[in-house]
Amino acid sequence: MGNPFEAPLVNEAVGQHIRNWRSYYEAKLGFRNHWYPTFNSDELLEGKPLPFELGGEKLLLNRIDGKVFAMKDQCLHRGVPLSRKVETYTKDTITCWYHGWTYRWSDGLLCDILTDPGSKMIGTRSNKVYPVQEAKGLVFVFLGDIDPPPLSTDLPPGFTDANRHVRVTRRKVEANWRIGAENGFDTTHIFIHKNSRLITGNQTMLPLGFAPKPNSDEPLFKIVKNENGQNGIYDMLAERGVPHFEGKVHGEVVCRAIHGGDKHIAGEISLWMPGVLKVDPFPDPAMIHFEWYVPCDENSHWYIHCATKVIEGPEGDETFGREYEALWKDLYVYGFNDDDIWAREATQPFYQDDWGWLDEQLFEADACIMAWRTLATETNRGIQTKGRPASTASGKSAAVST
Amino acid sequence: MGNPFEAPLVNEAVGQHIRNWRSYYEAKLGFRNHWYPTFNSDELLEGKPLPFELGGEKLLLNRIDGKVFAMKDQCLHRGVPLSRKVETYTKDTITCWYHGWTYRWSDGLLCDILTDPGSKMIGTRSNKVYPVQEAKGLVFVFLGDIDPPPLSTDLPPGFTDANRHVRVTRRKVEANWRIGAENGFDTTHIFIHKNSRLITGNQTMLPLGFAPKPNSDEPLFKIVKNENGQNGIYDMLAERGVPHFEGKVHGEVVCRAIHGGDKHIAGEISLWMPGVLKVDPFPDPAMIHFEWYVPCDENSHWYIHCATKVIEGPEGDETFGREYEALWKDLYVYGFNDDDIWAREATQPFYQDDWGWLDEQLFEADACIMAWRTLATETNRGIQTKGRPASTASGKSAAVST
Amino acid sequence: MGNPFEAPLVNEAVGQHIRNWRSYYEAKLGFRNHWYPTFNSDELLEGKPLPFELGGEKLLLNRIDGKVFAMKDQCLHRGVPLSRKVETYTKDTITCWYHGWTYRWSDGLLCDILTDPGSKMIGTRSNKVYPVQEAKGLVFVFLGDIDPPPLSTDLPPGFTDANRHVRVTRRKVEANWRIGAENGFDTTHIFIHKNSRLITGNQTMLPLGFAPKPNSDEPLFKIVKNENGQNGIYDMLAERGVPHFEGKVHGEVVCRAIHGGDKHIAGEISLWMPGVLKVDPFPDPAMIHFEWYVPCDENSHWYIHCATKVIEGPEGDETFGREYEALWKDLYVYGFNDDDIWAREATQPFYQDDWGWLDEQLFEADACIMAWRTLATETNRGIQTKGRPASTASGKSAAVST
């Protein structure tokens, strides 16, 4: 099949896409030098390391005196996963089960080798470590090599609002992260939700689709670059377009949107780098929905689903927790968003070998998706690749000789 | 391993094979622009579309007012399978579950988009559709792009005889379709059937093998080109060769064919393009056996097994149906042809990476197989390939802009 | 990812490794023209052929009048495995179930074809056969094409000692054979055995690791080339290095070796071509341990584990057999060596695509492993490859014509 982006061009329009969105097309494993959510904070217990795959890299996370650290889950020596059999002899280190190579969580330094305390490798080699920050009950990891910019530059606006309580459900979806992001931000994908039990269950309504206003020059999206360090794009179709509550074939109405009630939801939809959606409000006028599409490997992503609500007072979290368990899990987390999961997994095969990016036929309502690709191409801090870290091997054998 | 057909030649004989049979070697997914049987007619109910994989392409078939239609099972927009969640709002169309793109079964025209009724794509794009014809209870699909020749040109002689009743059993075999065809037409493969319960169960007999008559110049096959539009080859070994009922090692008889009775079967064996065998009579003097080897994907084929019999009178079909269920399924469909299935699956690994076509060592009795390869190379209407339909993407984005 | 050995060099040290060990790196399927153990002698019953995969080749072994023969498990004709349905009409031959091609076990000659006794192929074609010898209850096969050197040149010293009784356990390990060999010979891998029940169960002890003596110039290994035809290497670290019974992190003792008793074991460890370890004594002062790492395919090896003991007298074998079943299986075969199996399988992914050989960072205690790689590169008799035996196809169609 070859590399589609090197294939002879079908026509100029496709060639334009390849030129405009090339780095997005290449970001199969996500963008490098960005912050991504991983575990929920309460999953990481003191001194109990857990592995997490992020952008094709295997990480090991651990909490020490309350603070979370992340290290590459691979011994420098023979490449085995440290997580295969965790051995932690001191609070601040992890020891490889195979030959006793011992790394400091804080900086990855190879500080001891239990099987050979005199090795010249000690103190001169380091494992890769990753900056970590926690926010709103999520553990964020900086997947990159540069000095990390503030976490806030990779968060959607409002996520860290005071008194905003967050409930997270993380699922692994068997589709590339970009299929996830484009499904979530896709203006007309709401067609798949037309029979969702959320509509009647929460007295709200959803149109079947949106269309641009005829003969209007208003743009259907608004790009925000580097506003408070954040880069994102707003879908303006809900505001400037025409919602359709009836679906027609051959001019006849063949299906109608369910009118569950008059609650207004999903008024403002935006997508932020490096891949997080904000739907405000959703699924209730009092709530905001956020969801991250975190690259796991080339063919799967972590779908990190955040239900959020501002609640004042000391018992806010417990109150929201009960509501989440009793109501929202059924109507919203599973009842509504399960449909997105199977839609993404059904889309994946077409794009899996990359040819789908050239063979797809986008239509007017996809303007937001096309603008997102441009934004992502222009504002990412790097492409995550699968390349072996050959540079870390430099001088690797200096201490030994045959 | 590379491409065997580009490798340096071992010797001139192999080189001759590559030159003679190249398009046969390349037809891993079958031949294009031919008619293939798919479902049984009674499997396709009115308005209930079913997916079928043919030559690596995903199709969706549906019956409308009694007539069967076939469309590519893939939305033009984002490439999802329409069959993942069938939505049919009018009898003559199918609507994609994702964004409401709606196609006409008759010609594939994108006639409506439920989420955006004003899109310029409507009326200007079409999904691929395939000509369909039914015959003798089978649904035939034309896998191709040209104006289809008559169905009869891809049927073996006699299949559509008046009063011929047909019973079909379709199974998926994990072997390339050519392994299926060569197993079926192979003169001496009857060695695997030597203990079949059909022999005693139906008072018949099978030799262990055939050999050419010593010092005879009579050809062992007869090629038929474009006779009534059909292309096929007859195995003349049963007529002109010498059957062997005893097998010898070191000159001693070590096994003997079972003599189940005196019924004569399998007098005339022929193989027809694009891959259908006729055995006349079989498994009984009053019956003719037909079997198709329909390419599913590169490593599997649909084995479409047809037991047929001419029966006069109004109750012919019911009578034959009872006989088929009570007798032939046990002795013949499963009892006899199961052996062919495991033989094909045992042969597949050697040919799977294509090197087997060069490493095999054919012998005299394979003359029919070699002639079949020549015939298939000379009379096919095209090679089916896995290439993405890049040409369909032409101008795809004309209606939209970033 | 490409071929790591052709990639631009990271630095001179890595380049030196590629130059020194290239044929070892390439021997993913093992070395050709060597003897390898396969079945236990008592698994191969008279006239009951069994298949075995060795270095990526499929073999079929059979015992005839007490002597074992090995043939390629593939018919010359259409490449099917003879083992799919074994048919043996005479003691000295095997007949292919498909078309009756019959091969002589002694030399592979195609001596008869049951379906066509007059074929010119008979007597002019031969299947590949392999030299076989039995020793100490193991069936050794010569995987190669040259006149085989004596079996003893591929056996470790002492294996065939008089009165040495051998008990074998064969397991398939999902790791390349070199990962197996380097795990077994690895001086400091004993760290993984630190809590083994063998230590207290057999009143012995193991250090956590070894280190070279400071400021010593004594080599840590001794290479033996062509001594009685054998090529091997001794690990001298146990003798010349310093054992460590305490493991330290930040200068504090964090773990101590268990002192199970005063029995001395593992005094002399050596690795022999083409991949067999000797540990003398082990797991008891009265025993010697041997283990072979026999390549099965690229990603798995047969771990052939031999417990041995010299016992005089007529009942020696039975006595040792009882001890093996009652004691050593639990403490040693499984209790101890299971840890090696999971360690090898945990190491495999890093090396699977070959990049691990360049990215690994070996340390001082790996000197023996590095010397082993050099020895294997210098003394192997050939590289086993997966190439199709195109040369055997020469003239294959001489007897037939289209």
Token look-up 């999971």 returns C342
- Whether B117 shows a pLDDT value over 80: the answer reads yes
Verify whether the Cβ–Cβ distance C114 to B209 is below 8 Å. yes
Contact C311, C319 (CB under 8 A): yes
Domain boundaries, chain B: 36-134, 147-379
Residue A203 to residue B220: CA distance in whole angstroms: 79
Which residues of chain B neighbour A355 with C-beta distances below 8 Å?
Answer: 388
The verdict on A90 touching C (C-beta cutoff 8 Å) is yes
Contact C351, C357 (CB under 8 A): yes
Residue A291 to residue A337: CA distance in whole angstroms: 10
Token look-up 């590095």 returns C370
Residue A77 to residue A96: CA distance in whole angstroms: 9
pLDDT the model gives residue B27: 97
Task: Say which of B98, B392, B397 has its CB closest to residue A191.
Answer: B98
SS3 content of chain B, % helix, strand, coil (to 5): 25, 30, 40
- Whether A75 shows a pLDDT value over 80: the answer reads yes
Q: Dihedral, CA atoms, B391, B393, B397, B399, nearest 10 degrees? A: 80
Tally C-beta pairs within 8 A across A and C.
Answer: 154
* SS3 track for chain A: CCCHHHCCCCCHHHHHHHHHHHHHHHCCCCECCEEEEEEEHHHCCECCCEEEEECCEEEEEEEECCEEEEEECCCCCCCCCHHHCCECCCCCEEECCCCCEEEECCCCEEEEECCCCCCCCCCCCECCEECEEEECCEEEEEECCCCCCCHHHHCCCCCCCCCEEEEEEEEEECCCHHHHHHHHHCHHHHHHHCCCHHHHHCCEECCCEEECCCCCCCCCEEEEEEECCEEEEEECHHHHCEEECEEEECCEEEEECCECCCECCCCEEEEECCCEEEEECCCCCCEEEEEEEEEEECCEEEEEEEEEEECCCCCHHHHHHHHHHHHHHHHHHHCCCHHHHHHHHHHHHHHCCCCHHHHCCCCHHHHHHHHHHHHHHHHCCCECCCCCCHHHHCCCCCCCCC
Residue C365 to residue C212: CA distance in whole angstroms: 7
Verify whether the Cβ–Cβ distance B247 to C114 is below 8 Å. yes
Task: Say which of B11, B189, B190 has its CB closest to residue C395.
Answer: B11
Q: What is the mean pLDDT of residues C239-268?
A: 93
Reading the block at residue C106, the tokens are: 């002694």
For C150-379, the fitting CATH number among 3.40.50.920, 1.20.120.450, 3.90.380.10, 3.10.350.10 is: 3.90.380.10
The verdict on C97 touching B (C-beta cutoff 8 Å) is yes
Reading the block at residue A83, the tokens are: 């997580």
Tell which CATH architecture fits domain A146-379. Answer: Alpha-Beta Complex (3.90)
pLDDT the model gives residue C389: 44
- pLDDT tens digits, one per residue of B162-178: 999 999 999 999 999 99
- Whether C111 shows a pLDDT value over 80: the answer reads yes
pLDDT the model gives residue C11: 66
Distance from CA of B188 to the nearest CA of C (A): 6
The verdict on B56 touching A (C-beta cutoff 8 Å) is no
Most confident of A205-209, B234-238, C169-173: C169-173
> Phi, psi (5° rounding) for residue B60?
-130, 125
- Please state whether A65 falls in left (phi above 0), alpha (psi between -120 and 50) or beta: left
Distance from CA of B355 to the nearest CA of A (A): 20
3-state SS assignment for residue B362: coil
Residue C149 to residue C151: CA distance in whole angstroms: 6
Tally C-beta pairs within 8 A across B and C.
Answer: 156
Distance from CA of C1 to the nearest CA of B (A): 17
Verify whether the Cβ–Cβ distance A89 to C342 is below 8 Å. no
Which residues of chain A neighbour C255 with C-beta distances below 8 Å?
Answer: 89, 114
- Whether B364 shows a pLDDT value over 50: the answer reads yes
Q: Which residue of C lies nearest to A83 if distances are taken between CA atoms?
A: C346
Q: Which residue of B lies nearest to A183 if distances are taken between CA atoms?
A: B98
Q: Which ipTM score applies to this complex?
A: 0.94
pLDDT the model gives residue C393: 37
Distance from CA of A247 to the nearest CA of C (A): 49
Closest CA to C18 of C31, C3, C33: C3
C63-68, long-range: CB < 8 A, 24+ apart: C64/C91, C64/C92, C64/C105, C65/C91, C67/C132, C68/C41, C68/C44, C68/C132, C68/C134, C68/C139
User: Taking a contact as any Cβ pair under 8 Å apart, which residues of chain C between 310 and 339 contact chain A?
Assistant: none
Which residues of chain A neighbour C212 with C-beta distances below 8 Å?
Answer: 118
Tell which CATH architecture fits domain B147-379. Answer: Alpha-Beta Complex (3.90)
Residue B35: strand pairing partners = B142
Contact C359, A388 (CB under 8 A): yes
CATH fold for the domain made of C34-134: N-terminal domain of TfIIb (2.20.25)
pLDDT the model gives residue A215: 77
Contact B216, B240 (CB under 8 A): yes
Residue C12 to residue B44: CA distance in whole angstroms: 68
**Average pLDDT along chain C:** 92
The verdict on B88 touching A (C-beta cutoff 8 Å) is no
Residue A275 to residue A292: CA distance in whole angstroms: 6
Tell me the whole-structure pTM to 2 decimals: 0.94
Contact C3, C242 (CB under 8 A): no
A325 Cβ contact list (under 8 Å, min separation 6) = none
Residue A223 to residue A52: CA distance in whole angstroms: 32
3-state SS assignment for residue B245: coil
- The CATH number of the structural domain formed by A35-134 is 2.20.25.10
More confident residue, C311 or B388: C311
Closest CA to C301 of C63, C31, C54: C54
- pLDDT tens digits, one per residue of A221-266: 999 998 889 999 999 887 888 888 999 999 999 999 999 999 999 9
Residue C187 to residue B186: CA distance in whole angstroms: 59
Contact B134, B140 (CB under 8 A): yes
- The CATH number of the structural domain formed by B36-134 is 2.20.25.10
Whole-angstrom Cα Rg for chain C: 24
- Whether B242 shows a pLDDT value over 80: the answer reads yes
> Phi, psi (5° rounding) for residue A170?
-105, 130
Q: Which of A3-17, A179-193, C316-330 has the lowest mean pLDDT?
A: A3-17
Cβ neighbour number for residue A338 with a 10 Å cutoff: 12
- pLDDT tens digits, one per residue of B262-320: 999 999 999 999 999 999 999 999 999 999 999 999 999 999 999 999 999 888 889 99
Order of strands, sheet of C138-143, starting from the edge strand that comes earlier in the sequence: C34-40, C138-143, C132-135
Q: What is the mean pLDDT of residues A139-154?
A: 97
Residue A297: strand pairing partners = A300
- Whether B243 shows a pLDDT value over 80: the answer reads yes
- Whether A400 shows a pLDDT value over 50: the answer reads no
Which residues of chain C neighbour A389 with C-beta distances below 8 Å?
Answer: 359
Residue A105 to residue A303: CA distance in whole angstroms: 27
Token look-up 């040369």 returns C391
- pLDDT tens digits, one per residue of B316-361: 889 999 999 999 999 999 999 999 999 999 999 999 999 999 999 9
Residue B329 to residue A59: CA distance in whole angstroms: 57
- pLDDT tens digits, one per residue of A300-355: 999 999 999 999 988 888 999 999 999 999 999 999 999 999 999 999 999 999 99
Half-sphere exposure of A250 toward its Cβ, with a 13 Å CA cutoff? Answer: 10
pLDDT the model gives residue C307: 98
